[in-house]
Protein backbone atom coordinates (compact mmCIF):
# COMPACT_ATOMS: atom_id res chain seq x y z
CA UNK A 1 0.00 0.00 0.00
CA UNK A 2 1.31 3.46 -0.86
CA UNK A 3 1.76 5.77 2.11
CA UNK A 4 -1.09 8.10 3.06
CA UNK A 5 -0.23 11.71 2.31
CA UNK A 6 -1.59 15.13 3.19
CA UNK A 7 -2.47 17.84 0.68
CA UNK A 8 1.17 18.94 0.43
CA UNK A 9 2.20 15.43 -0.57
CA UNK A 10 3.95 14.66 2.72
CA UNK A 11 3.50 11.14 4.10
CA UNK A 12 1.30 11.09 7.21
CA UNK A 13 3.03 10.12 10.46
CA UNK A 14 1.00 10.14 13.68
CA UNK A 15 2.91 10.51 16.95
CA UNK A 16 0.91 9.35 20.01
CA UNK A 17 2.01 11.22 23.15
CA UNK A 18 -0.61 9.94 25.61
CA UNK A 19 -3.67 7.74 25.29
CA UNK A 20 -6.68 6.42 27.23
CA UNK A 21 -5.95 3.49 29.54
CA UNK A 22 -6.08 0.21 27.63
CA UNK A 23 -5.50 -0.92 24.04
CA UNK A 24 -7.48 1.85 22.29
CA UNK A 25 -4.38 3.66 20.94
CA UNK A 26 -2.71 0.43 19.77
CA UNK A 27 -5.84 -0.61 17.89
CA UNK A 28 -6.22 2.87 16.40
CA UNK A 29 -2.56 2.92 15.37
CA UNK A 30 -2.90 -0.46 13.67
CA UNK A 31 -5.89 0.76 11.66
CA UNK A 32 -4.10 3.97 10.65
CA UNK A 33 -1.17 1.88 9.44
CA UNK A 34 -3.53 -0.34 7.44
CA UNK A 35 -4.62 2.86 5.70
CA UNK A 36 -1.06 3.80 4.77
CA UNK A 37 -0.02 6.07 7.62
CA UNK A 38 3.00 5.64 9.90
CA UNK A 39 2.53 5.64 13.70
CA UNK A 40 4.83 6.01 16.70
CA UNK A 41 3.96 5.93 20.39
CA UNK A 42 6.07 7.74 22.96
CA UNK A 43 6.64 5.45 25.96
CA UNK A 44 7.29 7.15 29.30
CA UNK A 45 6.52 4.33 31.76
CA UNK A 46 5.66 0.66 32.08
CA UNK A 47 1.94 1.32 31.73
CA UNK A 48 2.53 2.65 28.22
CA UNK A 49 4.41 -0.55 27.38
CA UNK A 50 1.46 -2.64 28.61
CA UNK A 51 -1.07 -0.69 26.54
CA UNK A 52 0.96 -0.21 23.34
CA UNK A 53 3.74 -2.77 23.31
CA UNK A 54 7.23 -2.17 21.94
CA UNK A 55 6.48 -2.09 18.21
CA UNK A 56 6.57 1.41 16.69
CA UNK A 57 7.58 2.77 20.10
CA UNK A 58 9.93 5.58 21.12
CA UNK A 59 10.87 5.18 24.81
CA UNK A 60 11.78 8.30 26.75
CA UNK A 61 13.91 7.62 29.83
CA UNK A 62 14.79 11.22 30.69
CA UNK A 63 13.43 13.73 33.18
CA UNK A 64 10.59 16.09 32.33
CA UNK A 65 13.06 18.97 31.94
CA UNK A 66 14.58 17.40 28.84
CA UNK A 67 11.30 16.35 27.28
CA UNK A 68 10.86 19.12 24.70
CA UNK A 69 14.37 18.89 23.23
CA UNK A 70 14.12 15.11 22.94
CA UNK A 71 10.63 15.32 21.44
CA UNK A 72 11.64 17.89 18.82
CA UNK A 73 14.49 15.70 17.66
CA UNK A 74 12.13 12.72 17.43
CA UNK A 75 9.59 14.72 15.42
CA UNK A 76 12.22 15.91 12.97
CA UNK A 77 13.93 12.53 12.65
CA UNK A 78 10.70 10.64 11.95
CA UNK A 79 9.08 13.44 9.92
CA UNK A 80 5.99 13.54 12.10
CA UNK A 81 2.98 15.33 10.61
CA UNK A 82 0.36 14.80 13.35
CA UNK A 83 0.43 14.73 17.16
CA UNK A 84 -2.22 12.75 19.05
CA UNK A 85 -2.83 13.14 22.79
CA UNK A 86 -5.39 12.11 25.37
CA UNK A 87 -6.31 15.32 27.17
CA UNK A 88 -4.47 18.59 26.84
CA UNK A 89 -3.70 19.60 30.41
CA UNK A 90 -1.19 17.14 31.90
CA UNK A 91 2.52 18.02 31.61
CA UNK A 92 3.68 15.85 28.69
CA UNK A 93 0.71 16.59 26.39
CA UNK A 94 0.79 20.33 27.20
CA UNK A 95 4.40 20.68 26.12
CA UNK A 96 3.94 18.38 23.13
CA UNK A 97 0.96 20.37 21.85
CA UNK A 98 2.79 23.68 22.23
CA UNK A 99 5.80 22.28 20.40
CA UNK A 100 3.60 20.79 17.68
CA UNK A 101 1.82 24.11 17.22
CA UNK A 102 5.15 25.94 16.82
CA UNK A 103 6.22 23.39 14.19
CA UNK A 104 2.96 23.65 12.25
CA UNK A 105 1.81 20.08 12.90
CA UNK A 106 -1.79 18.90 13.09
CA UNK A 107 -2.88 18.47 16.69
CA UNK A 108 -5.55 15.91 17.61
CA UNK A 109 -6.87 15.64 21.18
CA UNK A 110 -9.03 12.81 22.52
CA UNK A 111 -11.02 13.14 25.75
CA UNK A 112 -14.02 11.60 27.47
CA UNK A 113 -17.25 12.54 25.73
CA UNK A 114 -19.02 15.81 26.36
CA UNK A 115 -22.26 13.80 26.26
CA UNK A 116 -21.77 10.59 28.22
CA UNK A 117 -21.74 7.63 28.52
CA UNK A 118 -21.81 6.52 24.87
CA UNK A 119 -19.54 9.15 23.32
CA UNK A 120 -15.88 10.15 23.22
CA UNK A 121 -14.40 13.46 22.10
CA UNK A 122 -11.93 14.17 19.29
CA UNK A 123 -11.02 17.76 18.52
CA UNK A 124 -8.29 19.64 16.72
CA UNK A 125 -5.99 21.73 18.92
CA UNK A 126 -7.63 21.26 22.32
CA UNK A 127 -10.67 20.19 24.30
CA UNK A 128 -12.90 21.59 27.04
CA UNK A 129 -11.72 25.11 27.86
CA UNK A 130 -9.06 24.87 25.12
CA UNK A 131 -11.58 23.86 22.47
CA UNK A 132 -11.47 25.91 19.27
CA UNK A 133 -15.24 25.78 18.97
CA UNK A 134 -16.92 29.23 19.09
CA UNK A 135 -18.45 30.67 22.25
CA UNK A 136 -21.08 32.59 20.26
CA UNK A 137 -24.66 31.38 20.90
CA UNK A 138 -25.91 32.81 17.61
CA UNK A 139 -23.27 30.84 15.69
CA UNK A 140 -24.67 27.59 17.10
CA UNK A 141 -28.20 28.63 16.19
CA UNK A 142 -27.12 29.39 12.63
CA UNK A 143 -25.29 26.08 12.30
CA UNK A 144 -27.77 23.85 14.13
CA UNK A 145 -28.75 22.16 10.89
CA UNK A 146 -25.23 20.72 10.55
CA UNK A 147 -26.37 17.61 12.32
CA UNK A 148 -29.36 16.03 13.98
CA UNK A 149 -29.22 14.32 17.37
CA UNK A 150 -27.51 11.01 16.68
CA UNK A 151 -28.83 7.69 17.88
CA UNK A 152 -26.04 6.31 20.01
CA UNK A 153 -25.16 2.63 19.95
CA UNK A 154 -24.75 1.44 23.53
CA UNK A 155 -21.15 0.73 24.56
CA UNK A 156 -21.73 -1.42 27.65
CA UNK A 157 -20.85 -0.80 31.28
CA UNK A 158 -17.80 1.43 31.04
CA UNK A 159 -16.92 1.92 34.71
CA UNK A 160 -15.89 -1.68 35.61
CA UNK A 161 -13.88 -1.96 32.39
CA UNK A 162 -12.24 1.41 32.95
CA UNK A 163 -11.30 0.57 36.56
CA UNK A 164 -9.71 -2.69 35.40
CA UNK A 165 -7.68 -0.82 32.76
CA UNK A 166 -6.54 1.82 35.26
CA UNK A 167 -5.43 -0.80 37.79
CA UNK A 168 -3.52 -2.79 35.15
CA UNK A 169 -1.84 0.34 33.81
CA UNK A 170 -0.61 1.51 37.20
CA UNK A 171 0.56 -1.96 38.20
CA UNK A 172 2.67 -2.01 35.03
CA UNK A 173 3.85 1.52 35.74
CA UNK A 174 5.23 0.43 39.12
CA UNK A 175 6.78 -2.67 37.58
CA UNK A 176 8.56 -0.50 35.05
CA UNK A 177 10.01 2.00 37.53
CA UNK A 178 13.53 0.48 37.48
CA UNK A 179 13.66 1.19 33.74
CA UNK A 180 11.79 4.52 33.77
CA UNK A 181 13.29 5.79 37.02
CA UNK A 182 12.95 9.48 36.07
CA UNK A 183 9.24 9.35 35.28
CA UNK A 184 7.06 11.34 37.67
CA UNK A 185 3.26 11.34 37.82
CA UNK A 186 1.52 14.73 38.05
CA UNK A 187 -0.77 13.59 40.90
CA UNK A 188 -0.67 14.81 44.49
CA UNK A 189 -1.26 11.26 45.74
CA UNK A 190 0.56 8.23 44.39
CA UNK A 191 -1.35 5.73 42.27
CA UNK A 192 -1.09 3.21 45.11
CA UNK A 193 -2.69 5.55 47.64
CA UNK A 194 -5.40 6.49 45.15
CA UNK A 195 -6.18 2.81 44.58
CA UNK A 196 -6.49 2.23 48.31
CA UNK A 197 -8.65 5.33 48.59
CA UNK A 198 -11.04 4.04 45.93
CA UNK A 199 -11.33 0.74 47.78
CA UNK A 200 -12.08 2.51 51.06
CA UNK A 201 -14.65 4.79 49.42
CA UNK A 202 -16.35 1.84 47.74
CA UNK A 203 -16.65 0.06 51.09
CA UNK A 204 -17.88 3.21 52.85
CA UNK A 205 -20.54 3.75 50.20
CA UNK A 206 -21.87 0.26 50.73
CA UNK A 207 -22.02 0.68 54.51
CA UNK A 208 -23.66 4.12 54.49
CA UNK A 209 -25.80 3.80 51.35
CA UNK A 210 -29.14 3.71 53.18
CA UNK A 211 -28.21 6.67 55.37
CA UNK A 212 -26.95 8.72 52.41
CA UNK A 213 -30.10 7.96 50.42
CA UNK A 214 -32.32 8.94 53.35
CA UNK A 215 -30.44 12.23 53.77
CA UNK A 216 -30.87 13.12 50.09
CA UNK A 217 -34.55 12.19 50.06
CA UNK A 218 -35.16 14.32 53.14
CA UNK A 219 -33.57 17.34 51.45
CA UNK A 220 -35.77 16.85 48.39
CA UNK A 221 -38.93 16.28 50.44
CA UNK A 222 -38.37 19.45 52.49
CA UNK A 223 -39.64 21.57 49.60
CA UNK A 224 -37.01 24.20 50.31
CA UNK A 225 -34.82 25.67 47.54
CA UNK A 226 -32.03 23.16 46.98
CA UNK A 227 -28.78 23.98 45.18
CA UNK A 228 -26.39 21.32 43.94
CA UNK A 229 -22.59 21.69 44.06
CA UNK A 230 -20.67 19.38 41.72
CA UNK A 231 -17.11 18.65 42.78
CA UNK A 232 -14.34 17.98 40.30
CA UNK A 233 -12.27 14.80 40.37
CA UNK A 234 -9.34 15.46 42.77
CA UNK A 235 -6.12 16.10 40.87
CA UNK A 236 -8.00 16.92 37.66
CA UNK A 237 -5.68 19.22 35.72
CA UNK A 238 -8.73 20.86 34.12
CA UNK A 239 -9.51 22.35 37.54
CA UNK A 240 -6.25 24.16 38.21
CA UNK A 241 -5.41 24.96 34.58
CA UNK A 242 -8.82 26.33 33.68
CA UNK A 243 -9.94 28.03 36.88
CA UNK A 244 -8.59 30.22 39.66
CA UNK A 245 -9.00 27.42 42.23
CA UNK A 246 -6.09 25.27 43.40
CA UNK A 247 -8.40 22.51 44.55
CA UNK A 248 -11.79 21.51 45.91
CA UNK A 249 -11.33 23.27 49.26
CA UNK A 250 -10.82 26.68 47.63
CA UNK A 251 -13.85 26.08 45.40
CA UNK A 252 -16.03 25.08 48.37
CA UNK A 253 -14.85 28.07 50.37
CA UNK A 254 -16.00 30.40 47.57
CA UNK A 255 -19.36 28.68 47.11
CA UNK A 256 -20.27 28.29 50.80
CA UNK A 257 -19.22 31.86 51.58
CA UNK A 258 -21.43 33.26 48.84
CA UNK A 259 -24.30 30.93 49.74
CA UNK A 260 -24.21 32.12 53.34
CA UNK A 261 -24.19 35.80 52.32
CA UNK A 262 -26.57 35.83 49.35
CA UNK A 263 -28.85 32.78 49.22
CA UNK A 264 -32.42 32.81 50.63
CA UNK A 265 -32.36 31.89 54.31
CA UNK A 266 -34.45 28.79 53.73
CA UNK A 267 -32.22 27.52 50.91
CA UNK A 268 -30.18 24.32 51.24
CA UNK A 269 -26.88 23.32 49.68
CA UNK A 270 -26.14 19.75 48.57
CA UNK A 271 -22.51 18.87 47.71
CA UNK A 272 -21.72 15.76 45.68
CA UNK A 273 -18.27 14.29 44.96
CA UNK A 274 -17.12 13.22 41.51
CA UNK A 275 -17.87 9.55 40.67
CA UNK A 276 -14.10 8.92 40.36
CA UNK A 277 -13.16 10.75 43.56
CA UNK A 278 -10.52 8.69 45.38
CA UNK A 279 -11.87 9.63 48.79
CA UNK A 280 -8.50 10.66 50.23
CA UNK A 281 -9.59 14.28 50.72
CA UNK A 282 -12.24 14.49 53.41
CA UNK A 283 -14.69 16.81 51.67
CA UNK A 284 -17.35 16.32 54.32
CA UNK A 285 -15.02 17.44 57.12
CA UNK A 286 -13.95 20.48 55.08
CA UNK A 287 -17.59 21.32 54.36
CA UNK A 288 -18.59 21.05 58.03
CA UNK A 289 -15.78 23.43 58.98
CA UNK A 290 -16.85 25.97 56.36
CA UNK A 291 -20.49 25.71 57.42
CA UNK A 292 -19.58 26.49 61.04
CA UNK A 293 -17.40 29.42 60.01
CA UNK A 294 -20.14 30.87 57.79
CA UNK A 295 -23.04 30.22 60.18
CA UNK A 296 -24.94 27.84 57.88
CA UNK A 297 -24.78 24.62 59.90
CA UNK A 298 -27.81 22.48 59.05
CA UNK A 299 -28.17 24.08 55.61
CA UNK A 300 -25.10 22.55 53.95
CA UNK A 301 -24.99 18.80 53.30
CA UNK A 302 -22.60 16.30 51.75
CA UNK A 303 -24.14 13.25 50.05
CA UNK A 304 -22.19 10.53 48.24
CA UNK A 305 -25.10 8.59 46.80
CA UNK A 306 -27.08 7.96 43.64
CA UNK A 307 -26.98 9.02 40.01
CA UNK A 308 -26.81 12.61 38.84
CA UNK A 309 -29.96 12.32 36.74
CA UNK A 310 -31.93 11.45 39.89
CA UNK A 311 -31.25 14.79 41.57
CA UNK A 312 -30.94 17.30 38.69
CA UNK A 313 -34.70 17.51 37.93
CA UNK A 314 -35.53 18.69 41.45
CA UNK A 315 -32.79 21.23 42.29
CA UNK A 316 -33.05 25.01 41.93
CA UNK A 317 -29.59 25.31 40.40
CA UNK A 318 -26.19 23.68 40.02
CA UNK A 319 -22.69 25.06 40.57
CA UNK A 320 -19.48 23.58 39.17
CA UNK A 321 -15.95 24.59 38.23
CA UNK A 322 -15.96 23.43 34.61
CA UNK A 323 -16.81 19.73 34.49
CA UNK A 324 -19.07 18.09 31.91
CA UNK A 325 -21.48 17.36 34.77
CA UNK A 326 -22.40 21.03 34.44
CA UNK A 327 -23.35 20.39 30.81
CA UNK A 328 -25.56 17.53 32.01
CA UNK A 329 -27.28 20.02 34.33
CA UNK A 330 -27.89 22.33 31.38
CA UNK A 331 -29.41 19.42 29.45
CA UNK A 332 -31.91 18.92 32.29
CA UNK A 333 -32.89 22.60 32.08
CA UNK A 334 -31.26 23.30 35.44
CA UNK A 335 -29.85 26.83 35.99
CA UNK A 336 -26.08 26.29 36.01
CA UNK A 337 -23.18 28.43 37.21
CA UNK A 338 -19.64 27.77 35.97
CA UNK A 339 -16.90 29.26 38.16
CA UNK A 340 -14.02 28.18 35.93
CA UNK A 341 -13.62 28.26 32.15
CA UNK A 342 -15.67 25.82 30.10
CA UNK A 343 -16.62 25.39 26.46
CA UNK A 344 -20.34 25.49 27.23
CA UNK A 345 -20.23 28.57 29.48
CA UNK A 346 -22.07 31.08 27.30
CA UNK A 347 -25.19 33.27 27.40
CA UNK A 348 -28.31 31.20 26.97
CA UNK A 349 -26.78 28.04 28.42
CA UNK A 350 -25.34 29.08 31.79
CA UNK A 351 -25.90 31.84 34.32
CA UNK A 352 -23.83 34.88 33.35
CA UNK A 353 -24.54 37.23 36.26
CA UNK A 354 -21.93 35.94 38.72
CA UNK A 355 -22.30 33.90 41.88
CA UNK A 356 -23.90 36.60 44.06
CA UNK A 357 -26.98 36.89 41.82
CA UNK A 358 -27.18 33.17 41.10
CA UNK A 359 -28.85 32.23 44.38
CA UNK A 360 -31.88 34.48 43.88
CA UNK A 361 -32.20 35.07 40.13
CA UNK A 362 -30.44 32.26 38.27
CA UNK A 363 -30.82 32.25 34.49
CA UNK A 364 -32.40 29.13 33.05
CA UNK A 365 -30.90 27.46 29.96
CA UNK A 366 -32.59 28.10 26.62
CA UNK A 367 -33.72 24.64 25.42
CA UNK A 368 -33.52 25.64 21.74
CA UNK A 369 -29.94 26.89 22.16
CA UNK A 370 -28.95 23.72 23.99
CA UNK A 371 -30.41 21.63 21.16
CA UNK A 372 -28.47 23.69 18.59
CA UNK A 373 -25.27 23.42 20.64
CA UNK A 374 -25.66 19.67 21.03
CA UNK A 375 -26.38 19.16 17.34
CA UNK A 376 -23.25 21.02 16.27
CA UNK A 377 -21.05 19.35 18.87
CA UNK A 378 -22.33 15.90 17.91
CA UNK A 379 -21.59 16.56 14.25
CA UNK A 380 -18.08 17.92 14.81
CA UNK A 381 -16.48 16.68 18.03
CA UNK A 382 -18.22 13.53 19.23
CA UNK A 383 -17.67 9.89 18.27
CA UNK A 384 -20.04 7.15 19.35
CA UNK A 385 -18.00 4.67 21.37
CA UNK A 386 -15.88 4.20 24.48
CA UNK A 387 -12.23 3.59 25.31
CA UNK A 388 -12.51 0.72 27.75
CA UNK A 389 -15.14 -1.74 26.50
CA UNK A 390 -14.69 -4.02 23.49
CA UNK A 391 -17.94 -2.83 21.92
CA UNK A 392 -17.04 0.80 22.56
CA UNK A 393 -13.60 0.47 20.96
CA UNK A 394 -14.99 -1.29 17.90
CA UNK A 395 -17.18 1.77 17.32
CA UNK A 396 -14.72 4.49 18.27
CA UNK A 397 -11.55 3.19 16.60
CA UNK A 398 -13.09 2.95 13.13
CA UNK A 399 -14.60 6.45 13.20
CA UNK A 400 -11.55 8.02 14.86
CA UNK A 401 -9.29 6.57 12.17
CA UNK A 402 -11.58 7.90 9.46
CA UNK A 403 -11.51 11.41 10.91
CA UNK A 404 -7.76 11.39 11.50
CA UNK A 405 -7.06 10.21 7.96
CA UNK A 406 -9.10 12.98 6.37
CA UNK A 407 -6.78 15.58 4.93
CA UNK A 408 -8.56 18.29 6.91
CA UNK A 409 -9.16 15.91 9.87
CA UNK A 410 -10.96 18.65 11.66
CA UNK A 411 -13.20 18.20 14.65
CA UNK A 412 -13.62 21.96 14.80
CA UNK A 413 -15.72 24.22 12.61
CA UNK A 414 -14.56 27.79 12.23
CA UNK A 415 -17.14 30.56 12.68
Higher pLDDT, 240 or 179: 179
The domain segmentation of the chain, as residue ranges, is: 13-172+383-405, 209-371
Q: pLDDT band at residue 189, thresholds of 50, 70 and 90?
A: low
Cβ pair 407, 178 in contact under 8 A:
no
Question: What is the layout of strands, in order, in the sheet containing 300-302?
Answer: 300-302, 268-272, 226-230, 317-320, 336-338
pLDDT of the residue at 360: 94
State the pairing for strand pair 382-384/119-124.
antiparallel
**Cβ distance 388 to 25 under 8 Å?**
no
Q: pLDDT tens across 342-381, in order?
A: 999 999 999 999 999 999 999 999 999 999 999 999 989 9
CATH code for the structural domain at 13-172+383-405: 3.40.50.20
Three-state SS for 40? strand
12 pLDDT more than 90: yes
Q: Is there a shared CATH topology between the 13-172+383-405 domain and the 209-371 domain?
A: yes
Q: Is 319 helix (H, G, I), strand (E, B) or coil?
A: strand
pLDDT of residue 10: 65
User: What mean pLDDT value characterizes the chain?
Assistant: 90
Other C-beta atoms within 10 Å of 69: how many? 11
Task: State the pLDDT at residue 305.
Answer: 79
| Neighbouring residues of 375: CB distance < 8 A, sequence distance ≥ 6 | 144, 145, 146, 147, 148, 149
The class of domain 209-371 in CATH terms is alpha beta
Full-model pTM: 0.89
| Structure confidence at residue 409 as a pLDDT band (50, 70, 90) | very low
**What is the distance between the alpha carbons of residues 400 and 409, in angstroms, rounded to a whole number?**
10
pLDDT digits (tens, 9 = 90+) for 311-324: 999 999 999 999 89
| Sheet with 382-384, side-by-side order of all strands | 57-59, 38-43, 13-16, 82-86, 106-112, 119-124, 382-384
112-152 tens-digit pLDDT: 999 988 999 999 999 999 999 999 999 999 998 766 656 78
Q: Which residue from 348, 352, 354, 351 is spatially nearest to 373, judged by alpha carbons?
A: 348
Amino acid sequence: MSPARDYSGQARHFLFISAPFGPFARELGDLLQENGAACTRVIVNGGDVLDWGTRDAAPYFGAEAGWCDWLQRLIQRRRVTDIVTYGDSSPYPVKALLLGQSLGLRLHVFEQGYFRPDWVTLERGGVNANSQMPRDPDWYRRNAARGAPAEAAKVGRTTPAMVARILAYHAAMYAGLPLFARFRTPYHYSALWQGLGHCWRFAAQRVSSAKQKQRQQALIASGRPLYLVLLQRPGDSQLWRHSDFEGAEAFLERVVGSFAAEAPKDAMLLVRPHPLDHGLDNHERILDKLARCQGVVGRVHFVDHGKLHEILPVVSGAVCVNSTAGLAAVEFGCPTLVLGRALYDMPGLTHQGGIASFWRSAEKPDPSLYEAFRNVMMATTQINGAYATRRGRDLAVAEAARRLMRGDADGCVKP
